[in-house]
């Protein structure tokens, strides 16, 4: 390994080894990739106590660093979260292999048979904050899709991510696959991020996963293509035809289940006809649950609310806070979301099928949810096993980025001596 003090040399070495591994992994047998992921899952289980001990060191480092409670929650690994990592690895292993899948096929009058088939992107660079589970998720999804991956986790999660990377490498080794297919940048030096962003010779796409500061930096400075979302400014609209019980339970879950994830609701919109009934009931329930409701004037009479300011609309709190206001109807909700949404996830609660269809048709977010919590905005909940991130752009990847979206395609053209006139 290159000296960690020479960051350009370190990243060049990692990049060269990743590119070589990607060339071999691109045609690896599905059975080998599945075996690698299953072996990695077993290794995570076997080393569970080591992972928790390493995570305790990370939490101590993070406390000294003074990171936010939301970031601390993302960093934490306990038995349940480690089991979720294991379950995710196994779920990805069980999925159909996307590489080589025929997307479409046709014959031409010239005698040519043409197939469009999935092919890996090559080398994926993942830059993320806090969450060591991303190490496993990203490594597994890249492996499944035939890509090598370079992981640059947050400095506060280095110990946890190092052991999880070792588990993934053990899986690769047992399956006879190149262990350089999954590499963790072994330094907290931020210069490594800058090197990744300009590594066009080695990295095919960058996936940033973190807060607005990190993602904004990547989008501004990257020379490598980027799959990203800047923020999760998530709205949930309670329509006048909403079922009261569903609405109350879903809004509370959307806000309070885990406040530090990008699918957490940040703005509550309520049909104006419900202002003095269900709307007040939901706002009061949020306050009772410990949420600081930044309320528009129509809800400020609810005890415990805070008056909203202009800055509260379009704000990602990632904490026990939510903005709340009324809108005239579903079109009013759509107008507000168009003005303030980050095109990540937005939801509607209604029993009116036409209102739900109008919302789905006219809101242009990557994920739209009807009568369900926005906290389902997650690749694991979509049946992908995990996600490498949620993309809000419209080029190539959108929504939860799983194994399929980590592939491109190529054309296989077959003739029988065909010549062009």
Same structural domain for residues 327 and 404?
no
Same structural domain for residues 364 and 401?
no
On whether residue 198 sits in a domain, the answer given is yes
Same structural domain for residues 165 and 252?
no
Residue 270 CA to its chain's centroid (Å): 28
Same structural domain for residues 199 and 276?
no
On whether residue 389 sits in a domain, the answer given is no
Same structural domain for residues 407 and 360?
no
pLDDT reported for residue 49: 97
What is the span of the domain harbouring residue 289? 235-376
Same structural domain for residues 178 and 33?
yes
DSSP 115-144: EEEEEE-SEEEEEESS-THHHHHHHHHHHH
What are the Cα distances from residue 312, in Å, to 133, 270, 296, 384, 419?
Answer: 31, 16, 10, 33, 65
Same structural domain for residues 268 and 148?
no
On whether residue 387 sits in a domain, the answer given is no
d(CA 42, CA 376): 27
Same structural domain for residues 77 and 112?
yes
On whether residue 391 sits in a domain, the answer given is no
Token couple for 164: 């999880």
Same structural domain for residues 250 and 226?
no
Report the number of distinct structural domains present in the chain.
Answer: 2
On whether residue 382 sits in a domain, the answer given is no
Residue 321, phi then psi, degrees to nearest 5 = -135, 150
Same structural domain for residues 124 and 56?
yes
On whether residue 312 sits in a domain, the answer given is yes
Same structural domain for residues 332 and 362?
yes
Same structural domain for residues 73 and 211?
yes
On whether residue 177 sits in a domain, the answer given is yes
The CATH code of the domain that includes 284 is: 3.40.309.10
The CATH code of the domain that includes 104 is: 3.40.605.10
Is residue 43 within 8 A of residue 167, CB to CB? The reply is yes
d(CA 314, CA 233): 6
Over its length of 421 residues, how does the chain's per-residue pLDDT go in tens digits? 445 789 999 999 999 999 999 999 999 999 999 999 999 999 999 999 999 999 999 999 999 999 888 788 889 999 999 999 999 999 999 999 999 999 999 999 999 999 999 999 999 999 998 889 999 999 999 999 999 999 999 899 999 999 999 999 999 999 999 999 999 999 999 999 999 999 999 999 999 987 778 888 888 999 999 987 768 899 999 999 999 999 999 999 999 999 988 899 999 999 999 999 999 999 999 999 999 999 999 999 999 999 999 999 999 998 999 999 999 999 999 999 999 999 999 999 999 999 999 999 999 999 999 999 999 999 889 888 888 888 888 777 888 888 898 999 999 999 999 999 8
On whether residue 383 sits in a domain, the answer given is no
Q: Name the pTM for this structure.
A: 0.85
- The DSSP 8-state label assigned to residue 9 in this structure reads H
């Amino acid at each position: 390994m290159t000296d960690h003090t020479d960051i350009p040399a370190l990243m060049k070495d990692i990049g060269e080894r990743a590119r070589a591994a990607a060339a071999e992994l691109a045609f690896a047998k599905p059975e080998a990739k599945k075996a690698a992921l299953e072996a990695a899952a077993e290794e995570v289980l076997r080393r569970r106590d080591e992972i928790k001990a390493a995570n305790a060191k990370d939490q101590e480092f993070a406390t000294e660093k003074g990171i936010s409670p939301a970031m601390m929650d993302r960093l934490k690994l306990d038995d349940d979260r480690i089991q979720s990592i294991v379950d995710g690895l196994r779920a990805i292993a069980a999925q159909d292999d996307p590489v080589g899948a025929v997307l479409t096929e046709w014959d031409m009058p010239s005698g040519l048979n043409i197939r469009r088939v999935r092919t890996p992107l090559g080398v994926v660079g993942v830059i993320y904050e806090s969450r060591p589970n991303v190490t496993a998720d990203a490594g597994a999804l890249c492996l499944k899709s035939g890509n090598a991956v370079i992981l640059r986790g947050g400095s506060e999660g280095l110990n946890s991510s190092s052991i999880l990377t070792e588990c993934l490498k053990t899986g690769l080794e047992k399956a006879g696959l190149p262990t350089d297919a999954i590499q963790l940048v072994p330094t907290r030096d931020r210069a490594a991020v800058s090197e990744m962003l300009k590594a066009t010779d080695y990295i095919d796409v960058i996936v940033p996963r973190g807060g607005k500061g990190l993602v904004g930096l990547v989008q501004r400075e990257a020379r490598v293509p980027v799959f990203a979302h800047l923020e999760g400014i998530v709205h949930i609209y309670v329509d006048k035809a909403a079922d009261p019980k569903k609405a109350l339970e879903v809004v509370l879950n959307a806000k309070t289940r885990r406040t530090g994830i990008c699918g957490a609701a940040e703005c509550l919109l309520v049909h104006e006809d419900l202002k003095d009934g269900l709307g007040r009931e939901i706002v009061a329930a949020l306050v009772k649950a410990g949420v600081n409701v930044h309320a528009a004037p129509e809800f400020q009479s609810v005890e415990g609310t805070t008056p909203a300011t202009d800055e509260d609309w379009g704000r990602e709190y990632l904490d026990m806070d939510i903005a709340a206001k009324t809108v005239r109807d579903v079109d009013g909700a759509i107008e507000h979301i168009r003005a303030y949404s980050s095109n990540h996830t937005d939801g509607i609660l209604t029993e009116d099928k036409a209102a739900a269809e109008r919302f789905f048709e006219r809101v242009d977010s990557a994920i739209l949810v009807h009568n369900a919590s926005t906290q389902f905005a997650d690749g694991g909940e979509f049946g992908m096993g995990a996600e490498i991130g949620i993309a809000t752009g419209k080029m190539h990847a959108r929504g939860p980025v799983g194994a399929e979206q980590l592939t491109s395609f190529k054309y296989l053209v077959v003739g029988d001596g065909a010549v062009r006139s």
